[in-house]
Amino acid sequence: MARKTSDVMVKALENEGIEYIFGIPGEENLDLLDSLKNSTIKLVVTRHEQAAGFMAATVGRLSGKVGVALSTLGPGATNFATAAAYAQLAGFAMMMITGQKPIRKSKQGSFQIVDIVENMRPITKFTKQIADGELVTSLVREAIRVSEEEKPGAVHLELPEDIAEQMTDAQVFPVHPVRRPIAEVKAIQKAIDMIEAADTPLLLIGAGANRKRTQKMLREFVDELGIPFVSTQMGKGVVTEAHPLYLGCCALSAKDYEHVCIEKADLIIMVGHDVVEKPPFIMQHGKPPLVIHIHFYTAKVDNVYFPQLEVVGDIANTIWQIKEGMKKQDHWDYTFIHKVKKELEAHLLIGIDDNRFPLMPQRIVHDLRKAMPDDGIACLDNGMYKIWFARCYKAYEPNTLLLDNALATMGAGLPSAMAAALLYPEKKIVAVCGDGGFMMNSQEMETAVRLDLNLTVLVLNDNAYGMIKWKQNASHFDKFGLDLKNPDFVAYAQSYGAKGYRVTAADEFSKILQECLHGSERGVKLIEVPVDYTWANMILDKELPGIINDIMPATKPRISYSLSMASNVPQTVDEVPSPTRGTSATPSSKLDSVKAEHPQTVDGVEESSAVSNEQETLAPDVVAKEVPENFESKHEESEVKLYPMYLANRAMTPNSQLEVINKYTNKVAARCAMASPADIHNAVAAAEKALPAMAAMASYERKAVLEKVVDEVKARFEEFAHALCVEAGKPIRDSRGEVQRLIDTFTIAAEESVRIYGEYAPLDISERCKGYQSLVRRFPIGPVSMISPFNFPLNLAAHKIAPALAVGCPFVLKPASRTPLGALLLGEILSRCNLPEGAFSILPCSRDAADLFVTDDRFKLLSFTGSPTIGWDMKARAGKKKVVLELGGNAACVVEDIVPDLETIVERIIHGAFYQSGQSCISVQRVYIREELYETVSSALVAKASTLVKGDPSDEKTFIGPLISESDAKRIEGWVNEAVKGGARVLTGGKRDGAFYDATILEDVSPEAQVHTEEVFGPTMELASYKDYKTAIANVNQSKFGLQAGVFVADLNKAFYAFEQLDVGGVCINDAPSMRIDSQPYGGVKDSGLGREGVRYAMEDMTELRVMLLRNAGQLA
């Protein structure tokens, strides 16, 4: 039976599940209005078409089903333009129906006529005039299908007045579900390969991921693979931001904590991102991170976004397939990123309890988040506050913080909140508007009151267009043209029948919020909140960029060999050394960039790193090149031995993931097993279980174990020395010296193991204490966590292991990942000793897994040797356990007198500065020479340094071997060049050759130069003259470090003056500060550490004092 076209159109909309139509009908819509009269569709009449469009778009955003808006022709239709662009850019399903004059016959000429179809074409996916009633159902079905399919957007149908009244037999088209296509298998596999090969993959969630199935799959992906994630502004809440792996929202395009994490990453998994959203970060050609684009559609290439891989298809299915096709990788490294997250969380606390008035935006965000339930919906307009909500307001569920980061229009906040309140009347809904944005659609307060919505409106009032003022100020323009004079917002709200509140003090805000959100009275409430952005803007303009600039140099990501192979993107490489040069091009560890800022990390940060050569990369400051065919970083030497790890005394080889590189040939010299987090957990459990048996061992039994180690090492002396020479690049003479020191350390421990004395004391110190006496004894503290460095991998491990065995403490040791062999050889010997099961574990492992060494409360002591940056962070995270830190230094030596003779002074200083290529925390770095002696001593030092032999560390003549990596040599080169630019003179050396750096002596170094203030950890020292002895001592103390100092002096009083005044852990009289006796207390002050090593002193740290009080003991009745 024939019906009016308008009736059929309404039936078609009902068939599509449309529940609301928002808008303002006009004369040309009267037929359609009459057809809606008896429809299940609710007509919501608004006060402006733009607001109706925003409400329809929000329905599409929240439900995924098209929202519909209605207007008349001409001016009513053109008022939809902003809302159409809002939906189109952001990806919200929305349909606009506009009227038009009769098209077959009209008596009004061109009155009010605008070509709306063409007007809508640039800002919609589909726009069409219904020119015949027979077409109405097919066009409704097609328009809604196009609007809802990926990417959702705006569509438009124009219904002319005469067509609306036309009779038609058109039938409604059934709605069939459509299955989205899934991604190609090869693309899925390549994504898996790239993610597995990456060192630090990150997940970045965009607006397109905000789909129900995708939300679920992403949560599983994060939970199972442990990959941290950030979000764009419109991706907030897709995965709950309460998740421990959530790193924050990219509220800005750069210079925020999230960008440090992104810069640190070598691969970003971009899920649902579209360039219409303000960039969460800026991609750069030839530099990581690489990007995998996962979306329903291909990426639009832009100057800021050009992904290396596109995986196109249903996002949820793609994420599921990737998750099912891979496992969490042990080499993924998030230590740095988790540290940045902690700094971000601390930063976001700034201002949340600030009582200044007008309120700070941080306080407003905090109080609102606290007042809102997890499923409450905050709908933002656009203004300065949006940055702070994006940064600080955690969205615990999807679609609970609605902000616009595509068109970023003002005026949408209130209409969006009204649509949310219509859809979810049981939820708490808040519109957050600036005074400028609110006034653009404030007339809709009447609509909200008429609809009896339960809605709270925050008007953040700064009497200005605040964000534009911020930009105006940042661009150094004069203040002009952006201030406003607002109405009385409380009275304004009341004039519409809403309730109005005004905050007059900071602590009132939360109370008013509680009343509005959780009070018994429903309805529309408006809260005027005076806001001051001055301090917040200063944070964004000055404080935050400064913080990020300080952190960012520690990122410097690289495209590793493995990621290069997986992605077909050139590896980040340096020039490849000629095999005949004998120099090392060893790929640097993932934290080499941190070492550039804190060079002492070569002694410690790397100890938290466990990467095979597959995951290592070269320095980032060179242009990426194709990997040469003869690139040798993956080649193996003719015989590569596999070393097991030791878990609860037993050798285990679950894998061979860790490659140990010969630092001279740059070839794989050995492979080692790497422990998983489960292995470490089991090792700690075994140590805890072994404690009673270890504590019960007799002194002679512990001594026997230590002596057996001494005997075994002596028998295998050259094996230990050559392993050390290969893995550390340490000259063979120094390697033998370290093996001898290991023997000395275990010998001292064997002797001390039978000298753990207690104390007897009479306690009858007053009448109350008559008859009391005491015995004091030391007991093992419990399981000990040990992390040892690369530079002395044998003896510094021995300084932890031997004292633990001497007192009866089980231990778990993480050796340096680049030099694990010596510790594993020790493990082999210990596994044959008579020790209780679980007494020791030696576990090379990844940095993520190594976090247990710091945080596990079953450990009672953490002993760490490494960098101040990492060491102090470990102490902060270590909980209640005792912590001993042996960190860095920039040791100084004072030459006051020629004693005993010039030759000895020169020999001791040269050896102290340049042995092991200066890679020692007590290497001589600063030398202060009395003015009268300066020429004599400096000339002799320069002459001696120029004779040092550089080359193959296995050659008996070699004194200077390669540094641990070429990137460290480059860092030192950069620091020396910086010093020279600042006025320093190079007296000898100053040249780099691959991973080698010449023995270098400088003078006239600025006190601000990094070679002066930081730990160089390389073969570099500076000379300076002084006139007054007290001044020289004071100069030594002008350092953030305080490990050891040396003083050549003939006057005993001056020697004691140095001993008493120097702020260091040890003073070497008539020797360089590089001297350490393995029985001495060894450690530093200031940034150089906490506690003391040295066998007997370490034993004290590894024991607890226990007192037994005796009353009337020995008295007979």
Tell me which residues are annotated as active site: 886
Tell me the Cα Rg of the chain. 36
- Rounded to whole angstroms, the Cα distance separating 936 from 932 reads 8
H-helix or E-strand spanning residue 775: strand 772-780
Whether the bond between 289 and the residue before it is cis, its omega within 30 degrees of 0, is yes
Burial class for 828, CB neighbours closer than 10 Å (0-12, 13-18, 19+): middle
Total Cβ atoms within 10 A of residue 115: 11
Amino acid (1-letter code) at residue 367: D
In Å, how far are 900, 911, 941, 1035 from 906, measured between CA atoms?
A: 11, 8, 6, 21
- Rounded to whole angstroms, the Cα distance separating 88 from 459 reads 27
Quick one: tokens of 272? Answer: 């649902």
Contacts of 613 (CB under 8 A, 6+ apart): 561, 587, 633, 634, 659, 661, 668
839 and 827 Cβ atoms separated by less than 8 Å = no
- Rounded to whole angstroms, the Cα distance separating 620 from 592 reads 10
In Å, how far are 55, 144, 230, 498 from 423, measured between CA atoms?
A: 11, 20, 29, 20
| 486: nearest Cα among 459, 460, 458, 463 | 463
Helix, strand or coil for residue 807?
helix
- Rounded to whole angstroms, the Cα distance separating 1111 from 770 reads 8
Spell out the alpha helix ranges (H) of 808-919.
821-830, 847-855, 868-877, 902-914
- What is the phi-psi region of residue 229: left when phi exceeds 0, alpha when psi lies from -120 to 50, beta otherwise? beta
Interhelix angle for 821-830 vs 699-715, to 10°? 130
Quick one: tokens of 563? Answer: 């990621």
CA atoms within 13 A on the CB side of 536: 28
Q: What does the longest C-alpha to C-alpha distance in the chain come to?
A: 131
679 and 872 Cβ atoms separated by less than 8 Å = no
Alpha carbon 1066 to its chain centroid, in Å, reads 37
- Rounded to whole angstroms, the Cα distance separating 449 from 443 reads 11
677 and 812 Cβ atoms separated by less than 8 Å = no
Q: What is the 3-state secondary structure (H, E, C) of 239-260?
A: CCCCCCCEEEECCCCCCCHHHH
Spell out the alpha helix ranges (H) of 385-533.
385-392, 413-423, 435-440, 444-450, 466-474, 489-495, 508-518
Quick one: tokens of 245? Answer: 């792996």
282 and 218 Cβ atoms separated by less than 8 Å = no
In Å, how far are 116, 398, 454, 517 from 376, measured between CA atoms?
A: 38, 10, 12, 10
Burial class for 980, CB neighbours closer than 10 Å (0-12, 13-18, 19+): middle
Which residues are 993's β-sheet partners?
996
Quick one: tokens of 981? Answer: 């630019």
Whether the bond between 783 and the residue before it is cis, its omega within 30 degrees of 0, is no
570 and 950 Cβ atoms separated by less than 8 Å = no
Quick one: tokens of 792? Answer: 């002395």
- Rounded to whole angstroms, the Cα distance separating 368 from 378 reads 9
29 and 72 Cβ atoms separated by less than 8 Å = yes
